[in-house]
Amino acid sequence: MSETPVVIEQHGHAPFLQHHFHTAEQQADASKIGMWLFLVTEVLLFGGLFVGFAVMQSMHPEAFFAAHHHLDRTLGLINTLVLLVSSYTMVMAVDSARRGKQRALMIYLLLTLMFAAVFLGIKYIEYSHKFHEGLLPGKYYSHAGDTVPGQFMFFSFYFMMTGLHGIHIVLGMAAITWLCFRARRGDFSPAYYTPVDMVGLYWHLVDIIWIYLFPLLYLIQ
Amino acid sequence: MADVMALKPGVGGQAAPNYLTASRGLKSWLFTLDHKRIGVMYLASVLAAFLIGGVFAMLIRMELLTPGPTLMSAEAYNKAFTLHGVVMIFLFIIPSIPAALGNFALPLMLGAKDVAFPRLNLASYWLYLAGALMGVVAMVSGGIDTGWTFYTPYSSSTGGAVSLMTLAAFVLGFSSIFTGINFIATIHKLRAPGMTWFRMPLFAWSMYATAIIQILATPVIGITLLLLVMERVFNVGIFDPKLGGDPVLFQHFFWFYSHPAVYIMILPGMAVISEVIPCFSKKPIFGYKAVAYSSVAIALVSFLVWGHHMYVSGQTPVASAIFSFLTFLVAIPSAVKVFNWLATMYRGSISFQAPMLYAIAFLLLFAIGGLTGIVLGTLSVDVHLHDTYFVVAHFHYVMMGGTVIAFLAGLHYWWPKMFGRMYSEKWARISAALVFVGFNLTFFAQFLVGSRGMPRRYYNYLEEFQPLHIVSTVGSWVLAAGFFLMAGYLYASLRKPIDAPANPWGATGLEWQTSSPPSVHNFDHVPVVTTEAYAYATETEETTVGAR
């Protein structure tokens, strides 16, 4: 930025350029730094849960192994694929925005939103099944006929981890909906599509966290 | 406060409104995106929190004036020291320098118009307010008696508003994270033309290091506190030994954040000192790069020492030995800083104005606080001193003698810039003396009583400890007198018309090149940096050296 002092006095015409930035590039770079740092905090937030899970699993390996049989691997696998495809549609949305293809951008955003809804729908089926069988966290665990004690702890983690992940899915859907409104208003162009880019990064993180959650919870050996 | 200033636009400043007078009304403050106004709102808020935390401190000291009941019941005492700790740490110290002084000063020092994400900055302040409100509700709806560390299994089984208070700390954590994200992006992308990394003021380096810790450590306390709430609500089992959980795991999680958090508190203090000492010694900082890198080194090592809080919690001797060794490492970058500050003062033309008095007090008190930290980091000694008043005295020498004294140095240093008013130098010096004497009376006595075996957090004590407790309590009154005096002369300065020159201290930073108080956009022209930081009259010094 120091090489282009001329640009400094020209701010103000691009509607998306905030007053305290000199160039659009500087503004986009700042957003990227901010978003990546935010993703780091997300990784550490989930990291605490992963460490807690690892410690508790090492203390109660039989209970965790027995408990994980109650999960439906097929539904878990389908949901993994659904999220992977949604990451693909998100990438295509970012790419469409970068190329200025407004119609494709809207279609890919809506597709991503749809896959997110499918994910939550399958999660709902799984949750209601667990609720029905009394496979609940902590003191609400009431599953009958357990041979191995202590399985409630696995479901404590199952609900905390998938629940926190689910909240992130919902927040992501809200962000994508916001993008849809802005896209319809024509806010994005090849010169400015930072919000699409940033929500895309967030969505991939939510996807990656699930990719770790799936084997951790569903595929214990 | 805002209205007082808005009514008096100043003698010569009628032409150009400053950031305080540019717009009026409560809404213009609560919805402002101006980093300077957000800094001022944070300042008012942290000072209010300091008052609340201070009142709890006075109550604790009053209770300990005599053995047995003096003023309150044992239960009330437990709540008083818990709330003192929670308020001082989460509502006062952590946001004090970064969010209040840093928000105001950092963009000015970098020659920027604002922080990178002004809306995130405002969100950070709102989250702070929300967290503070939750904290206050928790205080009046039952309070909490766990100590600020929230150790399980006590915290997962005791009554009171533990869940609400931990959620408050969770929300405050996000406020702190947002400040950290903002500062890193600002330092990376918004430096003025010509301001390279090694031309930045050292304040920015320390803020950068602080922000790294805020971002990497705070989410872990966030999830830990959520897990504690889950434990209380659902009995999930992770921390409760009755259910097969591990209470020591909570301590690991807690200190994985809370030890680095100690450096979230002290690094900003060091940031201020690195500004004040060159300015009032009229010399460039000695060893710029060493001071800059030592901030980053402290930030990195801070993540590897949490186990030194847990020597007696049943961790393996090998782990304890490693943590002890790593703890000693922290002393190296800390000492690098102290020696460089001293070398900066050496042969400087030192003027003892209020900010410098606080900076010198910092050096003395931080040296004691830091060295007793080495004592406590030593395995065998710690087993004797663990959970005694020696520990209490140690962390008050670092947190209050270090961070709070540095905060006061910064407050007096930037006050003319923030509000355009000069405070009474005479009263400021008297107040600094009272604070220094009162602080040492209060806490040095605690080193002595702690080394003789007085445990911390106890309501009652043996009669032979009473003389030292009396010294400590009387010291707290002197300390309080110093603070009330300070509140008096600072408030009095606000009632004057604007009288501060742009650069009252003859300092070199960019923030002193704009008017006091600055205009809304900080600078009339984007400043261009052509020299190193702290370019204080180097030629004259060379001539004197050469003449010898």
Residue B545 has pLDDT above 70, yes or no: no
Q: Rounded to 5 degrees, what are φ and ψ at B457?
A: 70, 10
| Closest Cβ–Cβ partner in A41, A48, A137 for B224 | A48
Any residues with CB less than 8 A from the CB of B94 and at least 6 apart, and which?
B172, B176, B261, B264, B265
Which pLDDT tens digit goes with each residue over B123-164? 999 999 999 999 999 989 988 999 999 999 899 888 889 999
Cis geometry, peptide bond prior to residue A195 (ω within 30 degrees of 0) = no
Instruction: In whole angstroms, give the CA distance from residue B377 to residue B383.
Output: 10
Tokens of B192: 């003025």
pLDDT above 60 (res A177): yes
Interface check B118 vs A, CB under 8 A: yes
Interface contact B235, partner A, CB < 8 A? yes
DSSP run (H or E) holding B430: helix B425-451
* CA separation for the pair A29, B140 (Å, rounded): 45
Query: How much of chain A is in helix, strand and coil states, percent to nearest 5?
Result: 75, 0, 25
Q: How far does A23 lie from chain B, in Å, by closest CA?
A: 11
Give residue B142's pLDDT: 86
Tell me the pLDDT tens digit for each residue of B240-275.
999 999 999 999 999 999 999 999 999 999 999 999
For testing contact with chain A, the best of B189, B199, B248, B250 (most A CBs within 10 A): B189
Question: Closest Cα partner for B526 from A81, A1, A205?
Answer: A1
**Residue A21 burial by Cβ neighbours in a 10 Å radius (0-12, 13-18, 19+):** buried
Q: Which residues of A touch B180 (CB under 8 A)?
A: 37
A91 CB-near residues (< 8 Å, 6+ apart): A200
In chain B, residues with a C-beta closer than 8 Å to the C-beta of A138 are 230-231, 234-237, 243
Chain A residue with CA closest to B189: the answer is: A30
- The pair of structure tokens assigned to B154 is 């006590």
Q: Does residue A107 register a pLDDT over 50?
A: yes
Distance from CA of B115 to the nearest CA of A (A): 8
Q: Is B112 on the interface with A (CB under 8 A)?
A: yes
> Average pLDDT, whole number, for chain A?
92
Contact at 8 Å (CB) between B403 and B268?
yes
B25-547 topology per CATH: Cytochrome C Oxidase; Chain A (1.20.210)
Which ranges constitute the DSSP H helices of chain A? 5-8, 24-59, 61-68, 73-99, 102-133, 152-184, 194-218
Chain B contact set for A16 (CB, 8 A): none
Please give the single-letter amino acid code of residue B281.
S
Query: Mean pLDDT of all residues in chain B?
Result: 92
The C-alpha of A157 sits at a distance from chain B's nearest C-alpha, in angstroms, of 8
Q: Which residue of B has its CA nearest to A159?
A: B236
Q: Do A160 and B230 touch (CB under 8 A)?
A: yes
- B389, B454 Cβ separation under 8 angstroms: yes
Q: Which residue has the tokens 């009995």?
A: B235
Q: What angle do CA B98, B100, B102 make, to 5 degrees?
A: 45
Question: Is B113 in contact with A20 (Cβ distance < 8 A)?
Answer: yes
Q: How far apart are CA B145 and CA B157, in angstroms?
A: 11
Specify the pLDDT at position A221.
Answer: 74
Nearest neighbour of B189 by CB, restricted to A30, A51, A150:
A30
CB B292 within 8 A of CB B520: no
Pick from B185, B216, B223: which is nearest to A48 by CB?
B223
The pLDDT of residue B66: 95
Query: Among B109, B135, B123, which residue's Cα sits nearest to residue B176?
Result: B123
Q: Report pLDDT for A3.
A: 40
Using alpha carbons, list the distances in angstroms from residue A67 to A129, B293, B414, B536. Answer: 14, 49, 60, 69
CB contact under 8 A, A52 and B193: no
Task: Name B218's Cβ contacts closer than 8 Å, sequence gap at least 6.
Answer: A41, B173, B174, B176, B177, B180, B257, B261
Cα separation of B54 and B60, whole Å? Answer: 10
pLDDT value at position B548? 36
In B, which residues are within 8 Å of A8 by CB distance? 193, 526
Q: Which two tokens stand for residue A127?
A: 């949750």
User: In chain B, which residues have their Cβ closer than 8 Å to the Cβ of A56?
Assistant: 237-238, 244-246
Q: What is the DSSP letter of B199?
A: G
d(CA A73, nearest CA chain B) in Å: 24
CB neighbour list of residue B512: distance below 8 Å, 6 or more residues apart: B417, B502, B503, B505
Residues 154-183 of B with CB under 8 A from A: 177, 180-182
Q: What is the homologous superfamily of the domain A21-218 according to CATH?
A: Cytochrome c oxidase, subunit III, four-helix bundle (1.20.120.80)
- A192 forms beta bridges with A189
**Smallest Cα distance from B235 to chain A, Å:** 5
CB count in 10 Å sphere of residue B188: 16
CB contact under 8 A, B184 and A37: yes
- Going from N- to C-terminal start, the domains of chain A cover 21-218
Phi, psi of B530 (to 5 degrees): -125, -5
**pLDDT value at position A143?**
87
B309 near B259, Cβ under 8 Å?
yes
Q: Is the pLDDT of residue B539 over 80?
A: no
Q: What's the CA gap between B29 and A202, in Å, rounded?
A: 31
pLDDT tier for residue B329 given thresholds of 50, 70 and 90: very high
Pairs of residues, one from chain A and one from chain B, whose beta carbons lie less than 8 Å apart: 129
Report the residue of chain A nearest B219, measured CA to CA. Answer: A45
Please state the domain extents for chain B: 25-547
Chain A residues in contact with B230 (beta carbon < 8 A): 137-138, 156, 160
Task: State whether residue B146 sits within 8 Å of chain A by CB.
Answer: no
Asked if the C-beta of B189 comes within 8 angstroms of chain A's C-beta atoms, the answer is yes
Q: Do B219 and A30 touch (CB under 8 A)?
A: no
Q: Using the beta-carbon criterion (under 8 Å), do A152 and B113 form an inter-chain contact?
A: no
Q: Which of B396, B404, B518, B428 is closest to B47 using CA atoms?
A: B404
Show which of residues 403-432 on chain B sit within 8 Å of chain A, judged by CB atoms: none
For residue B519, the 8-state DSSP code is P
Please report residues of A whose CB lies closer than 8 A to that of B177: 41
CA distance B440 to chain A (A): 39
Q: 3-class DSSP state for residue B506?
A: coil
Contacts of B223 in chain A (CB under 8 A): 44-49
- Tokens for B433, please give them: 């003396």
Is residue B547 very low, low, confident or very high in pLDDT (cuts 50, 70, 90)?
very low
| From A1, A37, A153, residue closest to B215, measured CB to CB | A37
- In this prediction, what percent of chain B has a pLDDT beyond 70? 95
A chain contacts of residue B247, beta-carbon cutoff 8 Å: none
Looking at residue A220, its pLDDT comes to: 85
Chain segment B273-327, per-residue pLDDT in tens: 999 999 999 999 999 999 999 999 999 999 999 999 999 998 899 999 999 999 9
* Alpha-carbon gap, residue B352 to B409, rounded angstroms: 12
Q: Which residues pair with B455 in a beta bridge?
A: B388
Q: Which residues of A touch B231 (CB under 8 A)?
A: 138
* Cis status of the peptide bond prior to B517, with omega within 30 of 0: yes
What does the alpha-carbon distance between residue A24 and residue A39 come to, in Å, rounded to a whole number?
Answer: 23
Q: In sequence order, which residues have a C-beta less than 8 Å from that of residue B196 and are 6 or more positions away?
A: none
Question: Which chain A residues are closer than 8 Å to B246 by Cβ?
Answer: 55-56, 59
Residue owning tokens 């002197």: B478
Q: Do the chains contact at B185 and A30, CB–CB below 8 Å?
A: yes
B244 vs A44: CB contact, 8 Å cut-off?
no
B448-469 per-position pLDDT tens digit? 999 999 999 999 999 999 999 9
Written as one letter, the residue type at A142 is: S
The shortest C-alpha distance from A53 to chain B (Å) reads 9
pLDDT of residue B538: 58
Query: Are B181 and A34 within 8 A, CB to CB?
Result: yes
Q: CB–CB of B97/B272 below 8 Å? A: yes
Summarised one tens digit per residue, pLDDT across range A121-151 is 999 999 999 999 999 998 899 988 888 888 9
Tell if the CB–CB gap between A52 and B216 is shorter than 8 Å: no
Question: Out of B113, B189, B235, whose CB is closest to A19?
Answer: B113
CA distance B389 to B395: 10
Do B206 and B295 meet the contact criterion of CB atoms below 8 Å apart? yes
- Kindly tell me if the per-residue pLDDT of B429 is higher than 80: yes
Longest dimension (CA), chain B: 77
